[in-house]
Structure 1
Amino acid sequence: MSIDKDTQPAPQAAGVSLAAGDTELTVHPDNGCRIGSFRVGGMELLRQGAAYGCFPMVPWCGRIDHGRFRSGGVLHQMSVNDPPHALHGTGRDLRWRTARASATQAAFTYDLADTAAPWPYPGLVTQLVELAGDGRSLTLTLGVEASGDSFPAQAGWHPWFVRYLGAADGEGGGSGAQVQLDFTAEWQEERGEDHLPTGRRIVPKPGPWDDCFGMPRGVAVTVTWPGRLELKITSRAEWVVVYDEQAEAVCVEPQSGPPNGLNTLPRLVTPIDPLEISTTWSWRPLA
């Protein structure tokens, strides 16, 4: 696999396109394996731009405290890309390999030891993108495998849904139907001034949010653009981050653990126990 030494997201190339019914999407393996476009009935649901779309967060989600985490007795320092913390993993900064692709499914991989954004342990990450034959649901699956020593890891997704559906080119300008979010969480992780969970679980507060919520029976969030489209996000994962502080977009991020979870709630990946997480988006038109 050709390696790009620059770890900044590259301009979006043509990508791998999937289509069914009136739904079409494009995955950009050269730009962190993100979904760069997701159109239903001709309407773009994702904020456009090389840093947006929907990207996988792996091998960690959200922030790591000052970019440091321990595995056993070893302290590791990751690149601090959101000072003073390390943010959203390394996978979004890399060029992934397309393992296979058809009209409605595609699989992508990258090596955790990729020198463009190294992780201290060898292993493999896989993303499977599956569009239902009727074009009414999309399932995303991430797998993290260890090929040597065990290590803590997380995985999840960071979609940027447009706030106004029907705005020109998915830029999220103030036209079209404004998004509404509906979900019920058992708790909210209290967020400290450093944007990391304090360890206290509190009663969920009203938005706006840049917060992590606990859903021990599985993530279930409804994203609605009144009169246009209803989209349900579900996952067996128990954590979701909701971010709606920007005027252009809102984010609903199912993930396998809370921010800074490599330190506070480590989930070990071993050669016989990989990490796997899936999320399904399903939708229906309202017009």
Structure 2
Amino acid sequence: MTQPLLYLEDELTHLTLAPHLGASLVEWTLRSTGAPLLRPPAPHALENGLPGKLGCFPLIPWSNRIAQGGFDCPSGWLALEANSPNDPFPIHGSAWQQPWQVTEQNDQEALLQLDSRTPFAYCASLRIRLSGGQLQMALHVTHMAEQAAWHGLGLHPYFPRTSGTRLQTGASEVWMCDASKLPTKLRGVPSEWDFQQSRLLPDTLVDNGFGGWDGQCLIQQPDLGYELECRASGSEFFLLYCPVGLDFFCIEPVSHPVNAHHLPGRPGLRLLEQGQSVALGFSMQCRTL
């Protein structure tokens, strides 16, 4: 049976949501030209239930990869299994692989909710609002299990990439990675990944976490006729993924670096007791050029 999609619209943009596919954003486009503000969905991604081939999805209760098959909580070891055929590690949490419920909806706003029991009990909400060409997303998660557990949040937007796509954002440090895509050491940002000034995306692979972020970035799309001014809250880190030869890239606002559960001090993670909450917000303001 085909699951219903949600459609939001303001005076400038149109947004399609798939609540049943992990609260995924299917696509976000300019009404005037149809230009994609998020990467267009891959063919058959909806029919095959593939959030990673759509425009964006939430990362709860952690972002990216976790090594060693799980992590320690105060009550003991929490074992995790790999949950993606494309990765040997548990990745992106559990919310993206569960259906969410629509609890509020009008022409410009929707509130989605998930009551999860995996890998522990939590309640998540995602409020999405369009206004004046701005897409606002607010994630809120409350820990419901009796035993405390570590939480992290993030969003995984995919943006279109052309030969003219430019990025401007600031970071003070970056995690270098090994062949398994796990962080090995923290260092200053190399010149080729320094986006303090607007520049074209690198021609070589980037798949790294950056820290010391003020939550702001500017994505310029001259070939598509617009730019996006983005602001994140509850996020001192971002992940930048620039695959070689593909027509998209990702800059993901996250509350913690990759594999933070096994890094010294568990940077960015929050140990939540029952009833305690954590939140993350992200807005993208579209301006036509």
Per the normalisation by structure 2, the TM-score is 0.82
Partner of 1:157 in structure 2? 155
Structural mapping, 1:1-287, within 5 Å: 13-40=3-30, 41=32, 42-45=34-37, 46-49=39-42, 50=45, 51-80=53-82, 81=84, 82-113=86-117, 118-119=118-119, 121-132=120-131, 134=132, 136-147=133-144, 148-164=146-162, 178-206=164-192, 207=202, 208-216=205-213, 218-226=214-222, 228-236=225-233, 237-246=235-244, 247-264=246-263, 265=266, 266-286=269-289
SS in 2 for 1:149: coil
Alpha-carbon distance in 1 for matches of 2:22, 2:124: 12
Alpha-carbon distance in 2 for matches of 1:109, 1:205: 42
Alpha-carbon distance in 2 for matches of 1:85, 1:199: 19
SS in 2 for 1:30: coil
Alpha-carbon distance in 2 for matches of 1:254, 1:272: 24
Give the Å deviation of 1:85: 1.0
SS in 1 for 2:262: helix
User: Residues 107 and 61 (structure 1 numbering): CA distance in 2 closer, same or farther, change over 3 Å?
Assistant: same
Deviations 1:80-109 (A, max 9, x none): 134431111111111111111111111111
SS in 1 for 2:54: coil
| Cα RMSD after superposing both structures | 1.9
Q: Is the CA contact 1:242–1:253 (under 8 Å) kept in the aligned structure 2?
A: yes
Partner of 1:4 in structure 2? none
SS in 1 for 2:58: strand
User: Residues 78 and 24 (structure 1 numbering): CA distance in 2 closer, same or farther, change over 3 Å?
Assistant: same
SS in 1 for 2:261: helix
Q: Is the CA contact 2:174–2:187 (under 8 Å) kept in the aligned structure 1?
A: yes
SS in 2 for 1:62: coil
Identity over aligned residues, as a percent? 23
For 1:222, the aligned partner's letter is L
Give the Å deviation of 1:192: 2.3
Unpaired runs of 5+ residues, structure 2, are: 46-52, 193-201
Unpaired runs of 5+ residues, structure 1, are: 1-10, 165-176
Alpha-carbon distance in 1 for matches of 2:240, 2:208: 6
Q: Is the CA contact 1:12–1:31 (under 8 Å) kept in the aligned structure 2?
A: no
Aligned positions, number: 256
Alpha-carbon distance in 1 for matches of 2:69, 2:230: 29
Alpha-carbon distance in 1 for matches of 2:231, 2:99: 27
Deviations 1:1-20 (A, max 9, x none): xxxxxxxxxx9844111100
For 1:20, the aligned partner's letter is D
Give the Å deviation of 1:73: 4.8
Give the Å deviation of 1:277: 0.5
User: Residues 244 and 83 (structure 1 numbering): CA distance in 2 closer, same or farther, change over 3 Å?
Assistant: closer
For 2:124, the aligned partner's letter is V
SS in 1 for 2:20: helix
SS in 1 for 2:28: strand
Per the normalisation by structure 1, the TM-score is 0.83
User: Residues 67 and 25 (structure 1 numbering): CA distance in 2 closer, same or farther, change over 3 Å?
Assistant: farther
